[in-house]
Amino acid sequence: MTNAIWGIVIAMALMFGIAFYRSTHQRQPAAHPRGSIRQQTQDRLRERYGL
């Protein structure tokens, strides 16, 4: 095989390996340290308008 074909084969193997790794190691979304932005906005409006 020529160098170009080896490059394609290695690139495809890397892409498959990364996809397989990411599918088996699901990352949990990072929680916002102070709660959600929406909750902060609601709290701020409750304080302002006394609701």
* Cβ atoms 45, 51 nearer than 8 A: yes
The pLDDT of 14-21, averaged and rounded, is 94
Examine the pLDDT at 44 and tell me if it is beyond 70.
yes
**Which DSSP state fits 25?**
S
CB under 8 A, 24+ apart: contacts of 7-14: none
> What's the whole-model pTM score?
0.48
Instruction: Note the pLDDT of residue 43.
Output: 87
Nearest in space to 11 (alpha carbons), one of 24, 23, 3: 3
Grouping H, G, I as helix, E, B as strand and the rest as coil, residue 41 is helix
- pLDDT in the model for residue 42: 87
- Domain map (residue ranges) of the chain: 1-29
pLDDT bracket for residue 23 (50, 70, 90): confident
Are 41 and 35 in contact, with CB atoms under 8 Å apart?
no
